């Protein structure tokens, strides 16, 4: 009876996985083997890997580069922030305030930054007030990386905070008792034990950053070209769904590789 009940509870989960994970992936892979005329071909993959001027491979390198920069920036900010939060008295309240911006629609946040970074935005008004004059901040690599890092920050902070918050204080006290100072304790005890949170944070930030497309248009002004931008263009503009699906397949493979590269590896 218990086994039958557990199987019934498992059914909605399996149905969800099939309809919204497996089926879309299979459809993308299948569609990648058809050209714009609907003919079965390997031309899309050939174009991706051998196109003139290596267009798609350069685009892939750009995507990895920008995603890597965003991940490094968020990690450098998130780890000290998460560590500091664990020392506070009302840490859950402060954590909620950090997570709160994720409840706001991404499009609204993007338009807010357009107003902040624009020629008549608050930053340029301040620069004009101090005598520097207005600068081109919007539609630059800096603005894109800044906004993307800001949006991804909570997804890096949360897993690191959870791991740090669960650390056994006795391990840290034992390190001090054995003569280690604060830096040695952090380097040899705290950081190694928090690597699972770092890995989860890297996955949560790097993988979505590979496929950003809305921010590349609104904040980057199409100066930042990523695989997400190319997929959007092929599906919505050129109507070449086969090529868009091919890029999607490459993106899925890149995401799976990222998950494999950042997974926990236990020594023998």
User: What is the domain extent for residue 107?
Assistant: 52-225
Residue 176 lies in a domain: yes
How many beta carbons lie within 10 A of that of residue 235, not counting itself? Answer: 16
Please tell me the pTM assigned to this model. Answer: 0.89
Check residue 214 and give its pLDDT.
83
Contact present, 49 and 249 (Cβ < 8 Å):
no
Whether residue 252 is contained in a domain is answered as no
- Residue 8 phi/psi, 5° resolution? -65, -40
- Calpha distance 84→86 (Å, rounded): 5
In a domain, 16, yes or no: no
Task: Calculate what percentage of the chain has a pLDDT beyond 70.
Answer: 95
Does residue 25 form part of some domain?
no
| pLDDT at residue 162, rounded to an integer | 94
For residue 242, tell me if it sits in a domain.
no
Is residue 268 over pLDDT 50?
no
Q: Is residue 109 part of a domain?
A: yes
Look up residue 145 and give its two tokens: 């990386």
Question: Residue 172: inside a domain, yes or no?
Answer: yes
Query: Tokens representing 57?
Result: 């491979």
Looking at residue 133, which CATH number applies to its domain? 1.10.3720.10
Q: Are 167 and 194 in contact (CB under 8 A)?
A: yes
**Whole-angstrom Cα distance, residue 200 to residue 133?**
42
pLDDT for res 160: 96
Is residue 200 in some structural domain?
yes
Q: How far, in Å, CA of 125 to CA of 117, rounded? A: 10
Does residue 105 or residue 6 have the better pLDDT?
A: 105
Instruction: Please give the pLDDT value at position 2.
Output: 55
Average pLDDT over residues 112-121: 91
How does pLDDT run across 248-260, given as a tens digit for each residue?
999 999 989 988 8
**R_g (Cα) of the chain, nearest Å:** 23
Q: What is the pLDDT of residue 26?
A: 94
d(CA 211, CA 146): 16
pLDDT at 228 over 60: yes
Contact present, 258 and 206 (Cβ < 8 Å) = yes
Residue 241 has pLDDT above 90, yes or no: yes
Place of tokens 């669960």: 166
* Domains held by the chain: number: 1
pLDDT digits (tens, 9 = 90+) for 2-60: 566 667 778 888 899 999 989 999 999 999 999 988 899 999 999 898 866 688 888 89
pLDDT in tens, 144-194: 999 999 999 999 999 999 999 999 889 888 998 888 888 999 999 999 999
């Amino acid at each position: 009876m218990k086994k039958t009940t557990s199987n019934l509870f498992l059914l909605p989960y399996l149905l969800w996985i099939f309809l919204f994970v497996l089926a879309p992936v299979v459809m993308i892979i299948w569609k990648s083997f058809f050209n714009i005329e609907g003919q079965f071909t390997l031309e899309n993959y050939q174009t991706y890997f051998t196109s003139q001027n290596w267009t798609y491979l350069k685009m892939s390198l750009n995507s990895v580069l920008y995603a890597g920069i965003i991940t490094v920036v968020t990690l450098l900010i998130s780890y000290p922030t998460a560590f500091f939060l664990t020392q506070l008295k009302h840490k859950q309240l402060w954590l909620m305030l950090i997570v709160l911006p994720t409840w706001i629609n991404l499009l609204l946040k993007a338009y807010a930054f357009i107003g902040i970074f624009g020629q008549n935005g608050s930053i340029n008004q301040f620069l004009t007030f101090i005598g520097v004059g207005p600068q081109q901040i919007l539609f630059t690599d800096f603005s894109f990386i800044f906004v993307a890092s800001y949006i991804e920050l909570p997804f890096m902070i949360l897993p690191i905070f959870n791991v740090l918050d669960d650390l056994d204080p006795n391990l840290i006290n034992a390190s001090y008792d054995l003569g280690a100072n604060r830096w040695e304790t952090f380097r040899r005890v705290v950081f190694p034990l928090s690597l699972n949170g770092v890995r989860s944070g890297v996955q949560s930030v790097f993988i979505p950053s590979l496929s950003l497309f809305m921010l590349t248009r609104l904040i980057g002004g199409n100066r930042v070209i990523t695989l997400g931008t190319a997929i959007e263009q092929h599906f919505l503009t050129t109507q070449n769904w086969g090529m868009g699906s091919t890029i999607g397949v490459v993106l899925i493979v890149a995401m799976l590789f990222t998950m494999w590269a950042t997974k926990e590896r236990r020594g023998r």
